[in-house]
Amino acid sequence: MFLPKKTLEEKIRSFLEEDLGQGDITTSLLIPDGTIVEGEMIAKEEGIIAGIEEATTFLESQSFQIEALISDGSRVKEKTGVLKIIGDARTLLSTERTLLNILTRMSGIATTTYRLVEKVRNAGFKTRVACTRKVAPGLSYLDKKAVMLGGGDTHRLHLDDLVLIKDNHLAVVGDIQKAVKQARETVSFSKKIEIEVSTVEEALEAIKSGADIVMLDNFSPKEIRETMRMLKKNRLRDKVLVEASGGINEQNLLEYVATEVDIVSLGEITNSTKALDISLEIKKVKKQMI
């Protein structure tokens, strides 16, 4: 998910715009033009940091001197400095909140993802922990990148990068076999085909029809195990990736993982987030940049 600096900078500028309106009146009233400050972004609680690339790209484009004390994806203890910043006080004070909103959201998502992934790894599994498209509106890039930095799987990035046949598609098309076959014939060779199913029978039909990935939607762990048993029995297990989705949370995660599916996906990683507490402290005030 690499974006050239100018493109990333533009994305962040667009977030700022909504907050700035006709400009920061407090800052322009109180902070003398030309004031230089030294500040530090500090993580107030333990977690995984994400958003450093976004913050530094924006700040460097505004002529700040930046020293990243930590790299994206790193784990920090509470009260750890994350980013040292030297530059124009007016610019820093008027963009502080938006930059922190990016960092705290991304770090929150990365931290949750990391905790889930560790739980799976510590239990001895290699199952992938994936997010879904249940992101904040317009924040797919930030949210998915944070999942990646937390060690999770980003799943689809766009509606154009994976054929994913869901229940509502089947409500129109009617027939799993026909749907998979039709997709396979027409779609580019560069795409995988995934299909969402709601019974063991549908899972078998989907795989026989040539799906690359099958999503077991709202299956109980018991139903998943039964499905996996049937796949092996039909010698289909190696031909397909199996994703479990629906009803999975931090508490019951290992029950799902234990079924030996390849992927578990959770909407709540990105739609029920908890911000990581990070704040900016002004350390020094200089009148003029050297």
Which residues are known to be catalytic? 134
Q: Are 1 and 154 in contact (CB under 8 A)?
A: yes
**Residue from the set 179, 204, 244, 257 that interacts with its own copies by CB under 8 A:** 179
Q: Which helix (H) or strand (E) holds 98?
A: helix 89-122
Report the nearest approach of its own copies to the CB of residue 224 (Å).
Answer: 17
Least spacing, CB of residue 62 vs its own copies, in Å: 6
Residues 76 and 21 sit within 8 Å (Cβ to Cβ): no
Which of these, 77, 72, 148, lies nearest to 117 by C-alpha position? Answer: 148
- What is the Cα–Cα distance from 200 to 203, expressed in whole angstroms? 5
263 binding its own copies? (CB under 8 A):
yes
> Does the protein bind its own copies through residue 10 (CB under 8 A)?
yes
Residues 121-160 that bind its own copies (CB under 8 A): 128, 130, 133-142, 144-145, 153-160
Q: Which is nearer to its own copies, 204 or 266 (CB)?
A: 266
57, 80, 104, 209: residue in contact with its own copies (rule CB under 8 A)? 104
37 contributes a contact to its own copies by CB under 8 A: yes
Q: Which stretch binds its own copies (CB under 8 A): 41-49, 116-124, 179-187, 219-227?
A: 179-187
**Interacting residue with its own copies among 222, 232, 233, 274 (CB under 8 A):** 274
In Å, the largest CA–CA distance within the chain is: 75
Q: Are 85 and 38 in contact (CB under 8 A)?
A: yes
> Measured between alpha carbons, how far is 223 from 261 in angstroms, rounded to an integer?
12
Q: Whose Cβ is closer to its own copies: residue 83's or residue 280's? A: 280
CA–CA gap between residue 262 and residue 94 (Å, rounded): 45
Task: Figure out which of the listed residues 98, 113, 209, 227 binds its own copies, where binding follows CB under 8 A.
Answer: 98
Q: Quote the tokens at residue 229.
A: 């048993």
Query: Could you tell me the smallest distance in angstroms from the CB atom of residue 270 to its own copies?
Result: 9
To the nearest whole angstrom, how small is the minimum distance from the Cβ of residue 282 to its own copies? Answer: 4
Tell me which residue of 99, 105, 96 sits closest to 143, measured CA to CA: 105
Q: Does 61 bind its own copies (CB under 8 A)?
A: yes
Q: Is 282 in the site for its own copies (CB under 8 A)?
A: yes
Q: Which of 50, 42, 105 is nearest to 77 (CA)?
A: 42
Cβ atoms 211, 162 nearer than 8 A: no
Q: Does 114 bind its own copies (CB under 8 A)?
A: no
Number of residues that bind its own copies (CB under 8 A): 110
